[in-house]
Amino acid sequence: MKLTLGFSPCPNDTFIFDALIHNKIDTEGLEFDVYFDDVETLNQKALKGELDITKLSFHAFAYVANQYALLDAGSALGFGVGPLLISKKEFKGELSSNLKVGIPGKYTTANFLLGIAYPQLQNKEIMVFSEIESALLEEKIDLGLIIHENRFTYQDKGLNKIVDLGDYWEKLTGCAIPLGGIVINRNLDREIQLKVNRLVRQSVEYAFAHPKSCIEFIRQHAQEMDEAVMYKHIELYVNKYSINLGNEGRKAIDTLFDLAQERNLIPAVKRNLYI
């Protein structure tokens, strides 16, 4: 059986899925057509129901939870891994509502957190996450909301951190920050859903056991990143929650959804989120 699978070219995703798509583990008769896209493109594809299995932001998941269920394996949650709000100029005091913010996507968890912390910042421009730093340097935007490997590169370009929204979330809730997860179409047989979850978990476990085995695949898709930065990226975003959400991971996700629904930032979700 062949299934469509979408994930980003970022090191954490290529690390997680390398063993699965390159048959380093037994895929139990499943094959995968792989689509590499940035997170907001994956969010949009999920909204259209285009893929059988896909990575997506937890913010976007709220809009497709009736069609997709969340796997226990493959998610990106953690402490100290949140999006950063940065700038070229230094700002002191309250951020004015007329400031233009470059965001990595309407349905990203980063944008959701920005809405909680700075509800006045509504002048937003959606950009590919990797272009936000350049837009700041060229003064096309006043503020930038950065994710992924840009956490490790903005200072080298002379940009300034205004706030770590992950730290903001942790102080607000005491939970790990849920960034993205792997979902599967609910129309697939339950047996297939459980099999995919099992295979993704095995793929993560294989990567942890053989971290150098996927370096070429990671490097092939990483954007201008040296090996040290690639592994720093992986260490931040791939952890125990990527193997199994567990009670802590589910609590963090449930807290995110409850808080978002209380503030009318997402629609009410009527189905169980998990497989």
pLDDT tens digit sequence for 68-89 = 999 999 999 999 888 999 999 9
Predicted TM-score (pTM) of this structure: 0.87
Please state which of the ranges 24-33, 144-153, 160-169, 202-211 shows the lowest mean pLDDT: 144-153
256 is in an annotated binding site: no
Cα 49 to Cα 203: distance, rounded to the nearest angstrom: 24
Task: Check residues 121 and 229 and name the one with the higher pLDDT.
Answer: 121
Q: Which residues have CB under 8 Å from 106's CB, separation 6+?
A: 40, 126
pLDDT computed for residue 263 by the predictor: 81
* Tokens (6 digits) for 263: 């503030």
Task: Specify the amino acid at residue 180.
Answer: G
**Is residue 148 pLDDT above 80, yes or no?**
no
Catalogue the active-site residues.
Answer: 148
What is the pLDDT averaged over residues 33-58? 95
Instruction: Give the model's pLDDT for residue 136.
Output: 96
Separation of CA 164 from chain center: 16
Tell me the per-residue pLDDT of 156-194, one tens digit each, with 9 for 90 and over. 999 999 999 999 999 999 999 999 999 999 999 999 999
Question: Which of 267 and 35 is assigned the larger pLDDT?
Answer: 35
Ligand-binding site membership of 117 (annotated): no
- Report pLDDT for 93: 84
Residues of the chain with pLDDT > 70: what percent?
99
pLDDT at position 29: 97
More confident call, 51 vs 115: 51
Q: Does 143 carry a binding-site annotation?
A: no
User: 251 among the known binding-site residues?
Assistant: no
Nearest to 70 by CA among 62, 81, 79: 62
What lies within 8 Å, CB to CB, of 86 at 6+ separation is 133, 136, 143, 144, 145, 146, 154, 159, 160, 161, 162
Provide the pLDDT for residue 76.
94
Tell me the C-alpha distance between 15 and 230, whole Å.
Answer: 10
pLDDT score at 271: 86
* Residues whose CB is less than 8 angstroms from the CB of residue 16 and which lie 6 or more positions away in sequence, other chains included: 7, 74, 200, 203, 204, 207, 238, 242
> Structural domains in the chain?
2-78+177-262 (3.40.190.10), 84-173 (3.40.190.10)
Q: Is 109 annotated as a binding residue?
A: yes
Residue 224 has pLDDT above 70, yes or no: no
The DSSP bridge pattern shows strands 2-7 and 53-57 to be: parallel
Give the pLDDT confidence score for residue 223 in this predicted structure. Answer: 66
Span between the terminal Cα atoms of the chain, in Å: 20
Q: Is 181 helix (H, G, I), strand (E, B) or coil?
A: strand
